[in-house]
Amino acid sequence: MFPKQAVGSIVGLGGMAGALGAMLILKITGYVLTKTGSFTVLFIIAGSAYLISIAAMHLLVPKLEPARIRT
């Protein structure tokens, strides 16, 4: 989807977003476990996260084609 010269930047941004998301999820996990005392809600969130991400990809990028970057 991205030209060769942009792949490193895209991977770096994805890694940063993943790390920030992990920090947020850890906080949410602690809060949910404190309030409910059960892992059920967390398993529901984890089980649906993949489906939500696929839906988001299809909404954001409905037609996969190479990105055009102006240089």
Asked whether the beta carbons of 29 and 46 are under 8 A apart, the reply is: no
**What is the predicted pLDDT for the residue at 49?**
92
Per-residue pLDDT of the chain (71 residues; tens, 9 = 90+): 778 888 899 999 999 999 999 999 999 999 999 999 999 999 999 999 999 999 998 898 878 777 777 76
Tokens 């895209």 — which residue?
10
Q: Which domain holds residue 26?
A: 4-60
Domain count, the chain: 1
**What is the predicted pLDDT for the residue at 61?**
83
Q: pTM for the full model?
A: 0.64
Q: Per residue, what are the HEC states of 10-62?
A: HHHHHHHHHHHHHHHHHHHHHHHHHHHCCCHHHHHHHHHHHHHHHHHHHHHCC
**What is the predicted pLDDT for the residue at 71?**
66
Evaluate whether residue 71 is within a structural domain.
Answer: no
Instruction: State in Å, rounded, how far the first CA of the chain is from the last one.
Output: 17
